[in-house]
Structure 1
Amino acid sequence: MEPLSVINLCEQYFFDADELLLCNWILNKTNATNLYIKLRETYYKGPIEEDWLRNYHDIMFFRFFRIQKSTFLNLLNVVLENDNHKLMRKKYHGGNLPIPPEKALLTFLTHMATQESLLSIGQRFGIVPSTAMNIVNALLYIMLKIKKKYIFWPRTDEEVEHVINGFTHYPNVLGAIDGSQIDIKVVPHTQHDSYVNRYLRHSINAMVISTAEKILTYVFIGFPGSAHDSRVFSNSTFVQNIATHGSQFYFPNEECHILGDSAFPLKMWMMTPYKRRPALNRIERQHNYHLSADRVVVEHIFARIKGRFRRVIFINTYSISKAIEITTAACVLHNFCYMNKDQWEDELYEDVNVQEFIAEDNDEETRRAQLKRNQIARELLNNV
């Protein structure tokens, strides 16, 4: 039976006069050949996103994609410059047209900025989920490739001076360190227990060092969620490089250091607060105040990253390596945005880390670090 004869039959038995007028109007506007729809054409395609960059107001673009238009264009240029495998610039060999780089980058940013599924993102951009997945994987590869260009330790005298000048309460600070939990799906049974954190959720650890300008200079991501910050730190490449090459690998002299909380060990190159006890003296209280005032910046880093790139609130994957890649990409995007003066103020509430006080060792290095901290504490009190 021809499709139109079926509709005519429905008109005779199921439509009243008003509905019949509406049906005839629709039929007059519709070509009968459109009733024969191919299978791949049944997939719903959303709005034409190629016009978003031009038509969306700057504020709406920022709300949807979490970056400003100017930052997007800069990021697009960086992506294309580092796309040596032409993952974003495939030649046309027949069939469906290749995805334009602008569209691919918008797809990736939507994936990073939301918790939407690939199916939902594909519907928004008019692509199938498998294409959306290929785009995400290609952009993750490029983000990892450019990581060292945007997450790097200050090396030159100018860079060191700039970072130190950013910390206004504590002297000679090259960064502040802290850790966070990145929730993931349950991992394979053989690794289950090691990834269960103190909140009984499956997670990986992410440890970062930040400047006062909220620029990340070091990231260590992927250690099992059950591990405490001190254990993550001791297994990090930061500590391993110092053990192999000495503290001069990161610090130009013994006066420079990073700031940690009480969960981290006291070192010549890392100052921590005086341990809480029934009564801290005035010098110790003043020291802890100044240290916390400069270190607070890193405590908000992951709240901002999770607030901006909501994919890292919960990474819906069974692959630990994929979770590490996504978290690293979020850190790269965070730095890229801040380096382009594209800041994000909204923070996502995070569970407060329970600080487990680490007993200070009684070795020679720790005693030297204690003397250094005492000297800094006296100088801070004298400068009040």
Structure 2
Amino acid sequence: MFQAFFPFVSLFFRIREDREKVTGYVENVIPNYLPDDFKRMFRVSRETYSKLLGYVSRSEEFALRNPNRGRSQIPLEKILLMILWYFGTQESAQSISDRFGVQQSTFYKYQEKVMDYFCNILCSRFIVWPKEDEKNEMFRNFQSKKGFPGVIGALDGSHIPITPPKDRQREYINRKGFHSVVLQAVCRPDKRFTHIYCGWPGRVHDARVYRNSDIYSNLYELCGHNHILGDGAYPNSRCLLTPYRDTGHLTAPQKLYNKIHSSTRCIIENSFGLLKGRFRRLQHINIYNIEKVVKVIVSCCVLHNMCIMNTDELDDIYDDHVDDNPDCPPQYRIEDAEGKLKRILITRQLSS
């Protein structure tokens, strides 16, 4: 027994010795990055990073302790760069800790603090439903694309690959055959999210996720006389217009409606592609704790909106969209007379 144990201990310490932490990366290397190199590494521009630093630095949660007491605190600049690196890569926590010269436990501590700040403070600031005066501008922007009137948002769900909880793996297998949670979102014409709702297991149909979200119960108040667009996975209603079900007997005006509807609605798919392309952690979140998975997703959505508001563009688009949802299940396909009439009137308007 002891003969087997001591070689293991020796190997363990040899591995620990091989893991050398990087010294001076934040202090000496990053300041020399050109703007494009900084954005490529951290997935945001220096300007966006500086604004984010300004927001976080005003939080009491990250206020510097008395320097005369205890160990020196890690600079906030290093903390944010470390977490941005996490969001932008698939690198392990161990590797990130070594890169930034901190203990792995320290990385986890600040990862939790930063994500809590994003979810509890910044989310309500940057992911907001449009005000009345903004709605007028938004439906004009949507209508200028393909002519579809009255649109103030596009709705869809996206699968975020995860490592599932060990005792609930089957719940998270989606129709594509991998484990995921669903991110439901509504976006503006500029790809900013105006509403997000996430955390449901990947096997759950989009219609059920929508039915359980707060936007479902508040949609009439949020939209007024306007509407958002969703694909055939959702129930058609006065404030959520979907395409006609293609049973092989659609009329020419109905086909035209579907085509313009799809061309207008696809902005949400582009938003998801931009989100996952910029923050590559969302291409697979290797965390068992679903609550923490949700915090990662929400934090990335907040950063996504911040970047767009700061005209911080990135060309990396991640295209994993597959129309994997069947039509809206019968139990959610409630006949909405107002929605049916509204769709008919818009169909006539588009074909006139």
By the TM > 0.5 criterion, same fold? Answer: yes
Point out the more displaced range, 111-120 or 319-328. Answer: 111-120
> 1:285, 1:342 → 2: CA distance?
37
> 2:138, 2:118 → 1: CA distance?
24
Measured after TM superposition, the shift of residue 343 of structure 1 is 2.0
Secondary structure (helix, strand or coil) at the match of 2:174 reads coil
CA distance 1:65–1:50, change in 2 (3 Å): same
Point out the more displaced range, 42-51 or 102-111. Answer: 42-51
- Per the alignment, residue 185 of structure 1 pairs with 163
The answer to whether residue 344 in structure 2 is matched with residue 368 in structure 1 is no
Point out the structure with max Rg over C-alpha.
1
Preserved contact between residue 118 and residue 129 of structure 1 (Cα < 8 Å): yes
Measured after TM superposition, the shift of residue 96 of structure 1 is 4.1
> 2:25, 2:114 → 1: CA distance?
21
Q: 1:137-158 CA distances to partner (integer Å, 9 max, x unpaired)? A: 1110111121010001012x32
> 1:289, 1:344 → 2: CA distance?
28
- Please list every run of 5 or more consecutive structure 1 residues that lacks an aligned counterpart in the other structure: 1-38
The answer to whether residue 311 in structure 2 is matched with residue 341 in structure 1 is yes
- Per the alignment, residue 93 of structure 2 pairs with 118
Match for residue 252 of structure 1 among 224, 242, 254: 224
Root-mean-square deviation (CA, aligned residues, Å) is 2.2
- The residue correspondences of 1:263-342 to structure 2 (distance < 5 A) are 263-342=233-312
- The residue correspondences of 1:6-45 to structure 2 (distance < 5 A) are 43-45=20-22
Measured after TM superposition, the shift of residue 358 of structure 1 is 2.4
> 1:142, 1:304 → 2: CA distance?
23
Q: 1:24-66 CA distances to partner (integer Å, 9 max, x unpaired)? A: xxxxxxxxxxxxxxx99x9533343124553210010010000
TM-score by length of 2: 0.88
Secondary structure (helix, strand or coil) at the match of 1:205 reads strand
Q: 1:308-358 CA distances to partner (integer Å, 9 max, x unpaired)? A: 111111111110100000000010000011011112232113151323112
Compare relative contact order (CA 8 Å, sep 6+) and give the higher one, 1 or 2. Answer: 2
Secondary structure (helix, strand or coil) at the match of 1:250 reads helix
> 1:110, 1:362 → 2: CA distance?
41
Count of residues paired in the alignment: 332
Q: 1:93-115 CA distances to partner (integer Å, 9 max, x unpaired)? A: 45542111111110010011011
Secondary structure (helix, strand or coil) at the match of 1:299 reads helix
Counterpart AA for 2:351: L
Measured after TM superposition, the shift of residue 192 of structure 1 is 2.9
- Identity over aligned pairs, percent: 32
Counterpart AA for 1:352: V
The answer to whether residue 183 in structure 2 is matched with residue 206 in structure 1 is yes
Secondary structure (helix, strand or coil) at the match of 2:195 reads strand
Preserved contact between residue 156 and residue 186 of structure 2 (Cα < 8 Å): yes
Secondary structure (helix, strand or coil) at the match of 1:326 reads helix
- Per the alignment, residue 64 of structure 2 pairs with 89
The answer to whether residue 127 in structure 2 is matched with residue 151 in structure 1 is yes
- Per the alignment, residue 228 of structure 1 pairs with 205
Measured after TM superposition, the shift of residue 92 of structure 1 is 2.2
Preserved contact between residue 309 and residue 330 of structure 1 (Cα < 8 Å): yes
> 2:203, 2:312 → 1: CA distance?
34
Preserved contact between residue 268 and residue 365 of structure 1 (Cα < 8 Å): no
- Per the alignment, residue 7 of structure 1 pairs with none
> 2:33, 2:198 → 1: CA distance?
35
> 1:164, 1:52 → 2: CA distance?
46
Preserved contact between residue 166 and residue 211 of structure 1 (Cα < 8 Å): no
> 1:91, 1:188 → 2: CA distance?
43
Measured after TM superposition, the shift of residue 365 of structure 1 is 5.8
> 1:366, 1:296 → 2: CA distance?
24
> 1:360, 1:273 → 2: CA distance?
16
- Per the alignment, residue 106 of structure 1 pairs with 81
Preserved contact between residue 205 and residue 325 of structure 2 (Cα < 8 Å): no
Q: 1:198-230 CA distances to partner (integer Å, 9 max, x unpaired)? A: 233221111000011001000010011110111
- Per the alignment, residue 135 of structure 2 pairs with 160
CA distance 1:71–1:215, change in 2 (3 Å): same
Point out the more displaced range, 196-205 or 207-216. Answer: 196-205
